[in-house]
Chains A and B, each alone.
Chain A
Amino acid sequence: MTDEPVHVIRKLEQALADDDFAWSLVLTGEDQTDKLATLTGDLRGPFSRTGDGKQITSGFSYWGIGPTIAWANATKDPFYLVMKAGAESFLRHWRRVRPHVDRGGFHFVSLGVGTGVKDRTILSDLYQRNPNMFYIPVDMSSEMLRMGSLEPVRGVGFPTTQVLPVQLDFSIWDNMKELGEMLSRLVGDDPILYTLTGNTLANFESDQEMLATITRALRPQDRLLLEVASTSSLDQAAANAAADEYHQTRAFAEFVTSTLRYNTDLKIDYDRIDFRGEVENNDALRVKIVWHNNTDEPIVMGLPDHTEVVLDPEDTILLYTTRKFSTERLKKLTAECGLTPIEHAHSGFRYTHRPTPFGLDLLLLAPGTAAETINTLADDIWAQ
């Protein structure tokens, strides 16, 4: 009789048991050389004065150990008031949302793990209700994954055997589709709580496309927790004020330039970083953070593939995009993506003496229209 070969993952569980070394298991879903090629391609875009040519798309801002450390430093900067206010308001908002996911036996998939502080709050509550749950942080950056998933796991005492970090660019539909299918096989019919917190949705070129991509992967029993920055004012003054929020902190400027610093040979001069606020489609404020060649001479930038790009005077590189959404925009986004709000918590920023139009919103969303989710045939039959 011959012994059956034992699968490596089953062996690994035994091998890592009681091992004090800081191992972390990551499921990688993409070839990282493709990502470098994408970044290089994006930096070869056409000339643009408005940040619409060369760009660093969302996700690449956190890609690699340099940008990850820069991000961690920015979040700890006491002058980065938006981040501080966000962490405080999240606890209040989560308390309102929590009753809707308390008893469902949810698994937790965190899209864009961030610092892991918000994940810790969510994980702590979900784990109490469902000790068999899985925690699956998803991020394009393996460094962010390792840093961001440590905080919730250690903070809550969550078993590492129930954590599966996934390195994946979830803004690509094929990746999201594969992730959704893999998770379905992993958890069966159990519901999953997906989260996209920290105003991550605002960082994508098309917020609507990003939200639609996530929505398509949701099953009827799943829920999406979405945190976005909001505004009640939509004029140029508000747009300028939104840009100023990010301008206040040196650590944030270091973070947005870190991808250029670590992937090109461009010498970073902070005088060339512009924070440009604009009103987008009359229903949101958009802040573009761009590197701007404000000299009279062309500047040559070396790329990771050893080619060079000439940055002419007035040319720009879009480093980071963020937004503040109006209520109308949020309604439009959720309606177009076929999402139904189950709970909506809002609070305004409180750190300024003068009233500010800015705030943060936390939405718990269900896939499908209200008619489909609230009044399905099954629900009607089994209603009391």
Chain B
Amino acid sequence: MTAVSYGLLALAFVLGVSWFFWPDNSRWEPAVNSLTLVAGLTGIFVERLTAEAERRTGVLRAVADELQENTRLLSDERFAPRTPTQRQVYPRLVVSAVDLALVSGALSRHRDADLVTLLHRWRDTVHLFNRRLDLTEISTFSNTISPAELAAFHRALTRENSYFAATREMLERLLSRLPNP
């Protein structure tokens, strides 16, 4: 589409120059005007498509960066199985880029249908994961908790079939399915 648009403009320019040197031919004017009009119309579509592609690329790049940041957060030593059991505030996962991607309309309804579904699921997973961290902190920072219960929380969080493991697995899946921006 871009090539057609530029081609039409170049042709109109050549005809315009010819018209300048041989002004007697009365057909130069409609030819130049028609070509310029058609080139202008295709140019509008080209501009729209380019803007959309740029927006999609920007959104995907932001989502990819955010997912990488979440990977780093999940590898935080506070989530490590061998961390000494103690009361602590855990880092939260972020979904602002994913939220923006979903509301921006930058992702194609047809081309990115699977990705949009995955992003919706990821958003829910992160909210539930962060909510679990809230509950864990509320429970572990209470006055009545015993060292055994504190240890049980850390064990429950880091065991193989916990929600933490499921979140990490989903993040890895999403990263592998994310198209290159």
Contact = CB atoms under 8 A, between A and B. Distances in A.
Given A379-B156, A382-B132, A189 B85 contact: yes
A379 to B, nearest CB: 5
Contacts of B81: 105
A205 B110 CA distance: 76
Interface string B155-166: 111011111101
A189 B152 CA distance: 10
B78 to A, nearest CB: 15
B42 interface: no
Interface string B65-108: 00000000000000001001100000000000000000000000
Interface string A80-106: 000000000000000000000001010
B148 A219 contact: yes
A42 to B, nearest CB: 37
Contacts of B85: 189
A352 interface: no
Given A189-B84, A221-B151, A376-B152, A382 B162 contact: yes
A382 B139 contact: no
A9 interface: no
Interface string B115-150: 000000000000000001001100100000000110
A95 B71 CA distance: 36
Interface residues of B, number: 23
A6 interface: no
A259 to B, nearest CB: 40
A219 B146 CA distance: 12
Contact of B161 (A188, A221, A378, A384): A384
B163 A376 contact: no
Given A188-B84, A378-B136, A382-B132, A221 B155 contact: yes
B153 interface: yes
B151 A384 contact: no
Given A382-B132, A382-B156, A382-B157, A377 B151 contact: no
Contact of A381 (B148, B156, B160, B166): B156
B163 A378 contact: no
A12 interface: no
B152 A384 contact: no
Secondary structure of the B side of the interface? Answer: helix
| Chain A, interface residues (CB within 8 Å), range | 10 to 19
Given A188-B84, A221-B155, A376-B156, A382 B148 contact: no
Contacts of B163: 382-384
Nearest to B135: A381
A378 B149 contact: yes
Interface in A345-384: 376-379, 381-384
A383 B128 CA distance: 11
Contact of A382 (B84, B149, B151, B164): B164
A78 interface: no
Interface in B159-179: 159-164, 166
A189 to B, nearest CB: 5
Given A188-B84, A189-B85, A381 B161 contact: no
A298 interface: no
Contacts of B162: 382-384
A186 B85 CA distance: 15
B139 to A, nearest CB: 6
A167 to B, nearest CB: 29
A206 B153 CA distance: 36
Nearest to B155: A221
Contacts of B154: 189
A218 to B, nearest CB: 11
A376 B135 CA distance: 13
A219 B148 CA distance: 8
A192 to B, nearest CB: 13
A220 interface: yes
Residue with the greatest number of chain B CB neighbours at <10 A, chosen from A103, A221, A378, A379: A378
Contact of B151 (A103, A189, A383): A189
Contacts of A105: 81
Contacts of A376: 149, 152, 156
Contacts of B151: 189, 219-221
A378 B84 contact: no
B132 A220 contact: no
A378 B153 contact: yes
Interface in A187-226: 188-189, 219-221
29 contacts: A103-B160, A188-B84, A219-B148, A219-B151, A220-B151, A220-B152, A221-B151, A221-B152, A221-B155, A376-B152, A376-B156, A378-B139, A378-B153, A378-B155, A378-B157, A379-B152, A381-B132, A381-B139, A381-B153, A381-B156, A382-B132, A382-B136, A382-B156, A382-B157, A382-B163, A382-B164, A384-B161, A384-B163, A384-B166
Given A378-B149, A378-B153, A382-B132, 9 more contacts: A189-B154, A220-B148, A376-B149, A377-B139, A378-B136, A382-B136, A382-B156, A382-B157, A382-B159
The 7 residue pairs across chains A and B that have the minimum distance between CB atoms: A378-B156, A378-B153, A382-B156, A382-B162, A378-B152, A379-B156, A384-B166
